[in-house]
A = this chain, B = another copy of it.
Amino acid sequence: MTSDKNFILKGNICYSEDAHTLRTVEQGFLICQNGKCAGVFHSIPQQFQDFLLIDCNDKLIIPGLIDLHIHAPQYSFRGLSMDLELLDWLNTNTFPEEAKYGDLEYAKKAYQIFAEAMKRSGTTRACIFATIHGPATELLMDLMEETGLKTMVGKVNMDRNSPDYLCESGAQASEAETILWLSKTRGKYQNVTPILTPRFIPSCTDDLMERLGRLKRKYKLPVQSHLSENISEVEWVKRLCPSTGCYGEAYDQFGMFGGEEKTVMAHCVFSSEQEIELIKKRGVYIAHCPQSNTNLASGIAPMRTYLDLKLNAGLGTDVAGGSGESIFRAMADAISVSKLRWRLVDSSLKPVTIEEAFYLGTLGGGSFFGKAGSFLEGYEFDALILDDSTLSHPQPLSTRERLERFIYLSDDRHIAGKYVDGKRIF
């Protein structure tokens, strides 16, 4: 029975059972058996009595956080030039920076910073955009493998409406580079898998999307992209794809919108009723990125609607639309922007609750990776140990109150330990 993947964490345990139910167990026992959760108990059950007991004392223990949308090459300019809307921001800030990743030396310097930050963060699983460059994307995957985090990383596809210096030379070339990248990275890693990543409809010709759709089916690959983020972008897609009923259909017509393999779409700020129906039908995941939608003046996604419809949804930091990699911050922002939406846009849609925000950042996004983001039995053992002892207060606080405070007040200093798949990361 002894194994380094058989152990027990003792502490104040919090996890989502579903979107509305946060379970807290004070001084409870969280069992890890062969890298999977074997449940949360008030005392140690007989069959686990010989497991190593790790006492986290008064600390909080929660599931690892899930980032459904982050751009690794944009980490270098987080917190910079936050004064533009999406399409101008892409042309002024993003594309010139992403072009630098053709240079492997630069890519190494920048991606090391990103990988180190992700390792130190509360995130245990993430969907990551790289750039159009196959070699730099493989390098990023090598670095992410070393962190121990479970990630899906995508070489970006772009063959139209992009600056010359960041545009692949046609659909065939883009496909060929993608196949080469897949041949080098599929099955190479224990922790990292490739994910197909057309940047967004405006950047990809129909020919390219058709080819990517075939690759998706051939290799059974998941897909990540952007959807209905910004008003100008949505109008642009309408002009580019006049025959599709909604932006989502522009992906769906090529089989690049959920179905058998999972798809995650960032934003969905301006999804029409028709699009929302298609998202539900195809089981597409929504990566809600509240800070990015604010920083790029996009708007506020109707998360109350998506939660009520029980759509698949989680949170994304969307660095560098979002300025940092903290999913705790994304939880707080999901709540606060939903309050502004309630006040300023539609008072029939109630703000997101703390239970729902925590769910989105853990179990909600976690199911994109299978059984992840909770301490329910059989789930992957991803856990954070949180030390809030330096967040001083004069009054007694319940475990739930401590968790709420942590979401608003913590930073990486307060993350005392992290496990992914039963392995200790730090």
Contacts and interface: CB of A to CB of B under 8 A. Distances in A.
Interface of A: 76-83, 97, 100, 106, 109-110, 113, 116-117, 291, 294-300, 323-324, 332, 335-337, 339-345, 351, 353-354, 392-395, 397, 401, 404-409, 411, 413
A342 B323 CA distance: 20
Contacts of A323: 332, 408-409
A90 B184 CA distance: 59
B404 A79 contact: yes
A78 B413 contact: no
Contacts of A324: 408-409
Contact of A83 (B300, B354, B406, B413): B354
B297 A342 contact: yes
A294 B334 CA distance: 11
Contacts of A345: 344
A418 B31 CA distance: 47
Instruction: Summarize A's interface: helix, strand, loop or mixed.
Output: helix
A419 to B, nearest CB: 25
B297 A395 contact: no
A404 B80 contact: yes
Nearest to A342: B297
How many copies altogether? 2
B294 A340 contact: yes
A83 B294 contact: no
Contacts of A351: 83, 297
A79 to B, nearest CB: 3
A234 to B, nearest CB: 13
A82 B354 contact: yes
B408 A79 contact: yes
Contact of A353 (B76, B83, B110, B407): B83
Nearest to A411: B411
Contacts of A336: 82, 291, 294-295
Contacts of A335: 82-83
Contacts of A100: 395
Nearest to A295: B336
Contacts of A117: 392
A106 B394 contact: yes
Contacts of A413: 413
B409 A297 contact: no
Nearest to A106: B394
A74 to B, nearest CB: 12
Contacts of A406: 79
Contacts of A344: 299-300, 340-341, 344-345
Residue with the highest number of chain B CB atoms closer than 10 Å, among A324, A392, A394, A401 = A394
Contacts of A76: 393-395
Nearest to A332: B323
A384 B76 CA distance: 25
7 contacts: A78-B408, A79-B406, A80-B397, A82-B354, A294-B336, A297-B340, A340-B344
A401 B407 CA distance: 28
A404 B406 CA distance: 26
Contacts of A354: 82-83
Given A78-B409, A340-B340, A113 B294 contact: no
Given A340-B300, A344-B299, A82 B294 contact: no
